[in-house]
Structure formats: structure tokens, C-alpha cells
Amino acid sequence: MKIKWRKILLKIHLYGGLLCFWYLLIFGISALYFQHHFRFMENKNIPALVSTKKQLRIDPANTDSVVATNIQNSLDVAGWYLPWETYRDSAGNFHTMIANPQWDYSIVYNFQNSISTISAKQKSFWNLLIALHGFAGKMPNAPLLFIWNIYTYVCIAVVLLSIFSGIWLWSGRKRQRLTGWLIFSGIIFLSFSLMIFIYKHG
Amino acid sequence: MVKMFSLVRKLHLYTAFTIAAFLLMYFVTGSVIIMGETFSRKSIRETSEKQFIGNESEFAIVARLCKQFQIRGEERKKIEEKQTVYSYLRPGYRAEIIFPANEDSVVINLSQGSFGKLMNDFHRLRGFNGLAHIVWGVLYDLSCIALFLFGLSGLYLWWKIEKNKLAGGFFFLTSTAITVFTIWYLITVC
């Protein structure tokens, strides 16, 4: 039985493209933002929204990074603690900050009464969307983000495959296919030439 | 209707070419960034040198040092309270000429990045400073716009090509579900 490669490839191209539809849109929006920093996407100066107090048992003898991680895990806050915002003040309070695409948490922990004060500042929705650009999905206390991580790799593979299969599918005629490959090779050559030029001259 | 289909098909093809010029490079460099544990972004060579300066002007010293150390790249000048710093940046390379205030010397720092750093810098290259950067910036923007058109035209073509939309609909809904779920998860869990 003769395998209909063209038909199979068209299906992969079609379904793969549909699977990556939203990823490509988010990728386009975020990439444009990285170049132009549109004002409407920036975080507004929203004041600290929530301030709560919680009692925690944290060992002060540990290093700052361990203390910050223990506080974060005890509070079950998703995000990354910021080492440059982590310190102990003269009164003995421990300060740290945990950031994630949606919130910035400022945490002050008092070792004497074991009370932590958490102030949360919300970021804009755009910030969240932009954070999905190439998001590796390894955020502490947010285990299900691995789905987006897998999705990212799938989209990379599909887009690369789509470029090559798209040219192949472009036309059934060999001559046009050759033209497609030549145009594609030319574009890749120009793209890499530009990279080399910038690498050499800045 | 056939004309419209043909037009969208061409749009899909040409936007793909625009994307191909840039996106391939972005996906390659982006993959290196994601695999940060394998490809370190540290510098592989760093040198620092101090030179005494005479009565030359700042401009003349910078020009002389750029020539002497073959410093090239996008220039940025930063005047601080205790020093004036000239930075020269290009992917995988960074040079600094530092003029400490009230001192008759200048410090030259040169840093050559690893492969991971080079890929990272190319991936994050932005701005319109200089001809090569303008070309880069325009191509970058075109690729972003092409991504929208590529996605939308692809959706249109699928809608027109397939009579039975069950399989395609499944993949489109899967894409929507993953995206909505991730956004919802980030909003609620964070």
C-alpha cells in the first residue's frame, strides 16, 4: 500500500498549527512588548493591596536563603524569592520578597513573636500574559505549571516542523518546491549573516 | 470565495517566510536559554586593566582605548556620582571604560561571554541604535506581526479545508484549554 505522505504531512501541519495557535499569539504579543514596552501593558502603581499576619515557626539559625524558602513554603506562596530583597534589619526582623507573574509579596518575619506580615501587590494581567513567553514552568509551589512547560516544547517542535513541512506542502510541483527551498535558504542565510555582522560589529 | 482562500493561503505562506527568517533563530537561542543548566551564561574570559591618564579629554581617551582594545558595540554612557561609565555591548561581549571621579586613572573591563551568554544576548537583543540594529528591530517587529497573521490565516485555512472539523477542533480546543488553564492557575494559585 502506498503511503500518502502529502496527506499525512498536511494533517500534522494543520493539527500541529492549531495546537500552537494561542502560544503563537501570546508569543507575538509578548515579543512586541519586549521591544516597545507599551505603556498600557505596564504595571500601574497599584498600592499594596492585602496585608495579613500569620504565625509561623521558623529557625533563625539558618542562612537567609533557607529562612526565606522556609517562610515561603510555610505560607504556601508560589513564586521565586528575591535574594537582593532579602535581609535582616537591626531590630532582628527578617525581610524577603517573593515574586510571581501575578503578585509581589513583601514579607516581614519577626523572630521574637514568630509573626509574619505579608503585603501583597498585584501586577497587571498583561504582566501575567507576558510571563508565559518561554515560561519554563519551574516556579516553586506551583507544580501544575509543568503543563505549560511541556506545551512550550511541543510548540517549538511543531513550529520548526511546520516551517519545513509548509514549504514542502506549498506546491506539489517540484519546481515550485525548489523555489520555496531556495527562498527559505536565502532568508536563513540573510538572518544568520545579520547575526554574524552584529556579533562582529555590535 | 476562492479568491479569498487563495489570498489567505498566500498570506499564510509569506508570513511564514517572514517568521522563518527570525523565529528559527529565536527558537534556537530560546531553547539554549531554557536549557540554562546545560549552557552556562557566565563569562569565559574577564580582564581588567588600569591606565593612568594625562591631560587628554574624556572623548580622546575613549577613542584611543576603543582602538587599543578593539572595543566595538552599542555605546551607553552613564554618569554616576562617583564615576562615569562607558559601556559597549554586543552579543556575548561587554566592555566598560570607567572614569572614577577625582582620579587620574581609568579602568577598562573586558568580558567575553560563553556560548550560553551569546545565545541569551542574541535572544534579548532590542532597540534601534545603529543600522544593523534598525534592520534587526524592523525584522523583529515584522516577525511579531507575522505571528498573528500566520496564526489567524492558519485557522481560516483549516476552517475552509476540512469538512469534518472534529479532529482539528479537538486540537484547537486543547490549545485553548491549556492556555486558559495556565492563566487561571497563575491567577488563583499565585
* Per-residue pLDDT tens listing for chain A (202 residues): 556 778 888 888 889 999 999 998 998 899 888 888 888 887 766 666 667 777 778 888 888 889 999 999 988 889 998 999 999 988 889 999 999 988 889 999 988 888 888 888 888 888 888 888 877 667 888 888 889 989 988 988 888 788 778 777 776 666 667 777 787 788 778 888 888 888 887 7
Residues B26 and B84 occupy one common structural domain = no
Q: Quote the number of domains for chain B.
A: 2
B34: amino acid identity, one letter: I
pTM: 0.76
Residue B122 lies in a domain: no
Check whether residue B12 and residue B60 sit in a common domain. Answer: no
Tell me, yes or no, whether B92 and B64 share the same domain: yes
Q: Beta B74-79 vs B43-52: how paired, if at all?
A: unpaired
CA angle centred on A202, ends B127 and A195, rounded to 5°: 85
B99 and B131 both lie in a single domain: no
Is the minimum CB–CB distance between A199 and chain B shorter than 8 Å?
A: yes
Residue range(s) defining the domain that contains residue B182: 2-37+127-188
Is B118 among the domain residues?
no
Dihedrals phi, psi of B70, to nearest 5 degrees: 50, 50
Rounded Cα distance between A73 and A186, Å, is 52
Domain limit, last residue, from B113, B135, B162 = B113
Domain assignment present for residue B56? The answer is: yes
Among chain B residues, CA nearest to A182: B17
Contact between chains at A23 and B179 (C-beta distance less than 8 A)? yes
Instruction: Tell me how crowded residue B39 is: count the other CB atoms within 10 A of its CB.
Output: 17
> Residues B74, B99: one domain?
yes
State which amino acid sits at residue A44.
K
The torsion angles phi and psi of A184, rounded to 5 degrees, stand at -60, -45
Using a CB-CB distance cutoff of 8 angstroms, which residues of chain A are in contact with residue B176?
A: 21-22
B98 inside domain: yes
Q: For residue B188, list chain A residues with Cβ-Cβ distance below 8 A.
A: none
The predicted complex's ipTM stands at: 0.83
B95 and B140 housed in the same domain:
no
Q: Is residue B33 part of a domain?
A: yes
* Burial class of residue A63, CB neighbours in 10 A (0-12, 13-18, 19+): exposed
Q: Of the candidates B90, B113, B136, which is a domain's last residue?
A: B113
Closest residue to A202, CB basis, from B24, B88, B183: B88
Whether chain B has a CB inside 8 Å of the CB on A182: the answer is no
Last residue of a domain, one of B66, B91, B113: B113
In-domain check, residue B136: yes
**Are B148 and A192 in contact (CB < 8 Å)?**
no
**Interface size between A and B, measured as CB pairs under 8 A:** 175
